[in-house]
Structure formats: structure tokens, C-alpha cells
Structure 1
Amino acid sequence: MGNMPLFVFFKDIRNVFKADELGLEIVHIALPTLLALLADPVASLVDTAFVGHIGPVELAAVGISIAVFNQVSKIAIFPLVSITTSFVAEEDATEELRANEQVHENVENGTPISMEMEMEELVPLVGKSSSTEMVKLECVRRHIPSASSALVVGSILGFIQAVFLIFAANPVLNYMGVDSNSPMLKPARQYLTLRSLGAPAVLLSLAVQGVFRGFKDTKTPLYATIVGDVANIILDPILMFVFHMGVRGAAIAHVVSQYLISLILLWKLNKQVDLLTSGVKDLRFGQFLKNGFLLLVRVIAATFCVTLAAALAARQGPTTMAAFQVCLQIWLAASLLADGLAVAGQAILASAFARKDHSKAVATASRVLQFGSRIFTKDINVLQLISLGIPFVAVTQPINALAFVFDGVNYGASDFAYSAYSMVLVALVSILCLFLLSSHGFVGIWVALSVFMSLRALVGFWRIGTGMGPWSFLRE
């Protein structure tokens, strides 16, 4: 590689789809994550479809409420999940190295090893395949302080979010352009208030998912998500149309599904991790807060752009907002598929950096980046606007894929500071574009969102391509 870090993007490019050990490891982590990430947007699309058949006003109301809920949720979700994944992967790799060193030392000194020690310490020596890691998971309840820290932080943040949204629903919706005279206010307030009751379950379940991702186990979150989303889809028509609850039924169905997912994940995690042995001194609250603040800045900047776009669409009326909601759900559903590769890259890279295995870090970054590059309403006016937005949804997918994968790669390197500051700069430029281009209507908003995602991909490319920060070893 010499002094050209840019070559990392082309390293072993012929092997991008090769089914070697690294390729299989990425696929085993990424594929279940892709399916899990797809499941939730699909459930949201089903919600959107059901609500759309009530009327365009209700569809627009639910759209603006979801934008508000997602804005507040993402302020806590992405820092919590990203930090948890990296910390758990690092702790797990460090503990594995320590166990291996202890076993080797015992063997060299002739110290006898008990059957219990063999079970707890020799398993990591068997290999690094996902199947071996699952054997280890099943045999030993591990002591991972970051897991306990994540659950505590997630529970507290979820409670705070619920209280905030319930008591601030009216002023927040007014800020989003839904004033007291708007026909969207009542259904939007109903949906937002009821859905907020599920905030503790959302934050807690995602904290647990971060732990499983750190263990490179993405199948368990997938199964739990599928069960919860199927319950949501089944309850939607029953509560909305059989019990005539309208948008309230959609919100209640979603809340029930989130608590179901949380219970399943906690039950499974308790079998694998000893969650109650960590004392206060062992918990990593300081590191969670420090790095969490950096990612909080990043998430606020990123989600503010999307939320501002929703607010500008809402100010143009229910028809524009309804069309924007449908296009946004499709856009996010397709874009977040790339997050599966981001999760795989983050988990493997965090483990590689903890082991100081730079060769694997380079190989992983190259492979995931190369992978990454490679019926809702009957209202005729809404449908006409949707037809204008769909081309932007389709054209921006390659850009979105790279942006998400770059995020995961930099998180895996614990490059949280750069991720935060670069996103603030991107957000400032994108906000300016939104205000300037929104005067051109629905299409102008989508052009500005395309600029936003392009800049996100660019700053990720720049960090690794110039060999800065944790990637400085690429210039050696």
C-alpha cells in the first residue's frame, strides 16, 4: 500500500465476492442484519398503507408524527447502539485474548487445567468461525460490563423520551408546521402520544441488539424483530378497522410489537451474559457519555436535515406531506439495507482494532466498501407527487449505500469525533440547500436530500482515503 491510503478501496477488489473466511464472516453478520433492518421498514410501509386507506389527512398526520418520533429516537438510538456494538466487540475480543494467554501460560508452566477452565478458556482457541463463537455463547455466560451499561442507559433514555413526547406533543407538532387549525393536529397528536409509550421498549431492545451485534450474532435480533413485526402487521387491521380505532390502532399495534421484541431479546441475552454481576465501578458510563455525546452531535445534525425536510413538506399541505411520507419510507427502507454491511464492518473492525490486527482491519474495510459500492393511497393528487419523488429514491441508492457503510467502518475504528464534526459541516450545507430548494416545491426538497447523502458519503471517503486518524497506519 505504501503511502497511498486511497488504495485501500481497491485492495483485493477481484475477491469482493469470494467465499473465503472473511467473506463468509461478513455475510453471516450482514445478511441477518439486512433482513432485520428490512423487516421494520416493511412493517412501517404496511402501517402507511393501512393508514393511507383512511384518508390523506390521516396519512400526512402519521407521517409527521413518525418524523418527530424518529427524530427524538435517533438522538439516543444511534449513539447507544453504535457505542454498544464497538465496546462489546472490543471487550469480547480482549477477554478472548486474555483467556488464550492464560491458557498458554498454564500449558507452558505445566499447570493443570480443570474441566471448567477448559470450557471457559479453551473454547476461544478452537477457531474464529461464527459456529465456534456460537458454541462459546451457549456454554459460558460472559461478564461484559458494556452490556449492563447499555441496558441501564437505554432504559433511562427510553423513559425520558416517552415523558418528553407525551407532554410536549402539541408544541413539537406546532414546530413541525401542524398548527392548531390544521386538520392533521388531532390524529397526529393521538398517534404520537400513544406511540411514545413504546419508547422505553424501543431504546431497550436496540441496546440489546447492540450487544448481540458486538458478539457478531445478528440472527437473534432478526428472529425477535420478525416476531414483533408480524404481530404489528396482524394487529394493524384488527385494531384500526375491526375495532374502529383508526390511527390510534396503528400506534397501539406498534407499541405492542416493540415490547414483544424487547422481552424476547432480554430473555435470550440473559442466557448468554451475566447482567447482574457488574458493579457500578465496572460499568463504562464515562466512556458511554463521552463518545455518546460525540455521536449525539452527529445524529442531531443528520436527523435534523431529514426532519427539516418533513417540516418543509408539511408546510406545503397534507397532500405534499402524504406523498413525502410514502417516498421517505421507501427511501429509508432501501437505504438502510446498506446498514447491514455497516454493522458487519463495525463489529469485525472493532474486534480487529482491539487485537491490533491491522491487516484484517484493512481487508475488512476494503471488502465491505466494495460490497457497498456494488400501494399506499388512492388519492390521485398524492399519487402524482409520489411519481415525482420515486426517481430520486432510486437514483440515490448507490450513494446512500456508501454513506451507511462508511459510517459503520469509521464506528468500527472508534472514530467518533471525526464522525460527529464532519456531520455538523455536512448538515450546515444541507440545511442551506433545503431552505433554498424547498421554494421549488416537492422536487426541490428531494434534490436537497440527495445533496445531503452525497456529502455524507464524501466525508467518509475522505477520512479513510487520506489515511487520517485511526487509519494513519495506512500511510506507513
Structure 2
Amino acid sequence: MERSDTRTILRLAVPALLSLIAEPLFLLADSAIVGHLGVAPLAGLGVASAALLTAANVFVFLAYGTTSLVARWVGAGRQGDALGAGVDGMWLAIGVGVVTALLVALFATPVCRVFGAGGEVLAQAAVYLRISALGLPAMLLALAATGVLRGFQNTVTPLVATTVGFAANLALNLVLVYGVHLGIAGSAYGTVIAQWGMATGLAAVVLRRATAEGASLVPRPNGVLRSARHGVPLLVRTVALRAVLLLTTWDATALGDIPLAAHQVAMTVFGFLSFVLDALAIAAQSLTGTALGAGDTALVRSRTRLMLGWSLGAGCAVGVLLGLIHTVLPPVFTPDAGVRSALAAALVVIAVLAPVAGVVFVLDGVLIGAGDGRALAVVQTVLLLLYAPVAIVLHAHAADLARHGARTSVVALWCAFATYMIARMALLLLRSRSDRWLVPGA
């Protein structure tokens, strides 16, 4: 049984990993192309992308919540109900996407100003963000459709859609920016077109299957509201998580330019490692929901133990690798000796933290798959309330830390963040060992 479960986990996790890694390539392609237009367009792209990524991360519950709902029905052997719940989630995504797009388009300039843009950078960022708002409904629809497919234990189709979307995005940007000479606006239009293509393709796969099962394709008010209620706790969890990350960045800004630069690169590295470790969490969401839908709590426990072992092993492997190359990576990102030294020190902390992150991400996936959103919202809110005073104290003593040098400052910052991650692991382990989240049935 364990060997069969291992194959199933790998079948889900490997395509999910490749898909997660492929997603940032949209931004990399835009950056490479827009970068040749000048400093202001590139800086404007960075600001607008930060706003768009914030919106996407906040609404990731559209994928996570839909996965757990659909997987429950699949496990119960009720394919039609699973697809009906999935279609409801997609309609919710469209509604939320349209409202968000309107707000972003109307307030593009103030939003970019909040993210620190000014002058010509502000003008470029506002143009990109205003046009990119047209793609927000597609972005959220793609999240929901991906959640449906993951609920059916299909992570290959989202990978294909992401790969094709990246290729289309690259081609369109080259044509619109350099061929038609639309500047940063051409990059935004290219990305929007690619996003709608991805969303259309993913939605078509889901709707074709829903039609075959006789599921309703029209929005059902009760079903859409059920999806919304199911997603609210995950939204609270995500907002609290983003608040922790923002507090950490707020502390980094008070430490000085060199610590801030080192922290930003370190957080980028940590984000990439998160993609690697989060692939198992995606598998956990689907497998947990399906097993609980079938009423097999013993299988859930068995798979959770197996995935915890895998995540701990993956975290250790990633940590050892990062520890070995912690002095090799900094020169790739910066020629500044001070930033290199501080970054190398931060990478050592991240290397030690990697096994903890592996356990955290998988337990998050297991509990999301079980539909334990309320507990996750409470846990993350408690952690935010505990972390906020630490961040405030660190910010108040930023000048004292800065006098000890950039290396010491960055290590202190990342040790504080590591403490938060360890506390998060402890609370999630405590929750996973109880039986309150093991609720069987659809």
C-alpha cells in the first residue's frame, strides 16, 4: 500500500512542481523584454507585478478551497456533484475577478503609489497595472479551474496549460513590445491575452467533463455562496500570512539599503524553495480530500505520515544543498561585497529552516484538503498576533542592529522569521495529531 501511495504522490507532485516553477517565468519573460526599454519601464513593471502577485496570492483560496470541495465529492464517488461544486467555484472566481479588476483599473495609480512608485516609474507602473487588470478575472478563473482538476487528481493538465501560456506570453510580448512598439503596454497586453488563453483552456476541460456528467453549467446561487463560505477562512489565513511577510519586509527597510537588498534576494530564494516543497502540499490537498470523502480516515493518517516523511526528507535535502552553495549563490545576484556577505549569512539560516518549511507546507496541505480552513485561519491569526510584537521590537531596535553590521542585521531578521515558522510548525503538528479535522464524508 505504501509503495502505491508513493507512486500516487509522485504522480501528483512532480507535475505540480513543474507547474509552480513555470508560473514565475511569466514575470521573468516580461522583465527580460521590458528591461531593454529602460530603467523606468523595468522599475514600473516591478511595482505593478508586486501588486498583481499580491492579488493572486490573496485569492489563492479559489484553488485550494475548490480542490478540497471537489476531492471530497470524488472520494464519495459522486462525480457529478464534484463537477457541480467545481463549476460553482469557477463562477465565484469570475465574479471576484471582475470586481477586483474594476477596482484595480480605477485605482491603478494610487495602488502603485502605495507600492513606492513615483515620477516616471509611477506612470509606467500605472499603465501596466491598468491594462493587466483585464487579465485578473482570467487569472482567478485559472486558479479555480486548476483547483477542480487537482481535486480529480489531475496535475498534468494545469502543467500543460502553464507551459503553453508561457510560450504564448513570450511570443506575444516580443511582437507587441518590439514589433508593434507598444512599450510596456504591449507587455501587459501580451500577458493578458496569454492569461485568458490559459483560463479558457482550463475551463473548457472542466466544462467538457461537467457536461458529460450532466452537471449544471449555470451559476447556482447556493453553490456559489457555499464556495464563498468555504473560502473565507482560507482568505483570512492567506491575508494573515501575507501580513507576516509584509512585517518582515517592513523590518528589513529599517535596517538599511544593504540588509534590505540582501533580504529581498534571500526571500526570493526562500520563495523558490517554497515552490519545491509546496508540490507535496498540493498532492496532500487532493489525496486527503479524496480519502475523507470515501470515509477512510485510516488512509488519511497513513498518507499523512508518509508525506510528512517525504517533506522532511525533501526539506533536509534542500537545506543541505543550500548550505553547500550559500557562498556560491550571492555573486549570481549582486556584485556588492556587503550584500554578498549578508546574503550568504541569511542563506545559512534558510538552509537550517528548510526541513521546518517542508513539514509546515505539507501539514498545511493536509488540513486544507480536509477542509479545516477555520482552524488554519485561527492558527495563522494567532501567529500573526504573536509575531507582530516581535517585528515591532525589531523595527524599534533597527538602528542598534545596523551598528553591528549588515550581516548581523539580516541574520537577526531571519532568525525572527525562523521563530515564526517553528511556532507555525508546532501549532500545525498539534492540530494534525487531534481528530477534530478528520471529518469523513462529502
Same fold (TM over 0.5): yes
Q: Structure 1 residue aligned with 2:357, among 388, 393, 400? A: 400
Distance in 2 between the 1:306 and 1:351 partners?
32
Q: Structure 2 residue aligned with 1:359, among 298, 313, 321? A: 298
What residue ranges of structure 1 are gaps of 5+ in the alignment? 1-14, 97-139
Go from structure 1 to structure 2 and tell me whether the alpha carbon gap of 1:149 and 1:250 turns closer, same or farther (over 3 Å shift): same
Go from structure 1 to structure 2 and tell me whether the alpha carbon gap of 1:458 and 1:389 turns closer, same or farther (over 3 Å shift): farther
Question: Quick one: which amino acid aligns to residue 212 of structure 1?
Answer: L
Go from structure 1 to structure 2 and tell me whether the alpha carbon gap of 1:410 and 1:359 turns closer, same or farther (over 3 Å shift): same
Match of 2:319 in 1: none
Question: 1:348 Cα deviation (Å)?
Answer: 1.0
Match of 1:95 in 2: 77
Preserved CA contact (<8 Å) 1:322 1:382? no
Preserved CA contact (<8 Å) 1:195 1:255? yes
What residue ranges of structure 2 are gaps of 5+ in the alignment? 314-328
Match of 1:74 in 2: 57
Match of 1:302 in 2: 241
Go from structure 1 to structure 2 and tell me whether the alpha carbon gap of 1:306 and 1:63 turns closer, same or farther (over 3 Å shift): farther
Aligned residues: 409
Preserved CA contact (<8 Å) 1:177 1:315? no
Counting only pairs closer than 5 Å after superposition, residues 225-374 of structure 1 correspond to structure 2 as 225-241=162-178, 245-274=182-211, 277=216, 283-310=222-249, 326-374=265-313
Distance in 1 between the 2:183 and 2:256 partners?
21
Preserved CA contact (<8 Å) 1:89 1:351? yes
Go from structure 1 to structure 2 and tell me whether the alpha carbon gap of 1:295 and 1:368 turns closer, same or farther (over 3 Å shift): same
- After the TM superposition, which of the residue ranges 406-415 and 264-273 deviates more from structure 2? 264-273
> Which entry has the higher C-alpha Rg, 1 or 2?
1
Match of 1:212 in 2: 149
Preserved CA contact (<8 Å) 2:83 2:206? no
Preserved CA contact (<8 Å) 1:53 1:377? no
* Deviation per residue, 1:452-476 (Å, 9 max, x gap): 44433332222124x2522599xxx
Percent identity reads 26
Go from structure 1 to structure 2 and tell me whether the alpha carbon gap of 1:22 and 1:143 turns closer, same or farther (over 3 Å shift): closer
SS at match of 1:335: helix
Question: Quick one: which amino acid aligns to residue 270 of structure 1?
Answer: L
Question: 1:308 Cα deviation (Å)?
Answer: 4.5
Q: Structure 2 residue aligned with 1:224, among 152, 157, 161? A: 161
Asked whether 1:192 is paired with 2:129, we answer yes
Go from structure 1 to structure 2 and tell me whether the alpha carbon gap of 1:85 and 1:173 turns closer, same or farther (over 3 Å shift): same
Higher relative contact order (CA 8 A, sep 6+): 1
Question: 1:445 Cα deviation (Å)?
Answer: 5.2
Go from structure 1 to structure 2 and tell me whether the alpha carbon gap of 1:260 and 1:44 turns closer, same or farther (over 3 Å shift): same
Counting only pairs closer than 5 Å after superposition, residues 383-398 of structure 1 correspond to structure 2 as 385=339, 388-389=342-343, 392=346, 394-395=350-351, 396-398=353-355
Preserved CA contact (<8 Å) 1:50 1:376? no
Preserved CA contact (<8 Å) 2:41 2:121? yes
Question: Quick one: which amino acid aligns to residue 93 of structure 1?
Answer: G
SS at match of 2:77: helix
Question: Quick one: which amino acid aligns to residue 27 of structure 1?
Answer: L
Preserved CA contact (<8 Å) 2:207 2:217? no
Distance in 2 between the 1:143 and 1:410 partners?
19
Go from structure 1 to structure 2 and tell me whether the alpha carbon gap of 1:153 and 1:280 turns closer, same or farther (over 3 Å shift): closer
Preserved CA contact (<8 Å) 2:105 2:130? yes
Question: 1:447 Cα deviation (Å)?
Answer: 4.7
Question: 1:94 Cα deviation (Å)?
Answer: 1.8
Question: 1:207 Cα deviation (Å)?
Answer: 0.5
TM-score (normalizing by structure 2): 0.80
Preserved CA contact (<8 Å) 2:292 2:438? no
Go from structure 1 to structure 2 and tell me whether the alpha carbon gap of 1:317 and 1:251 turns closer, same or farther (over 3 Å shift): farther
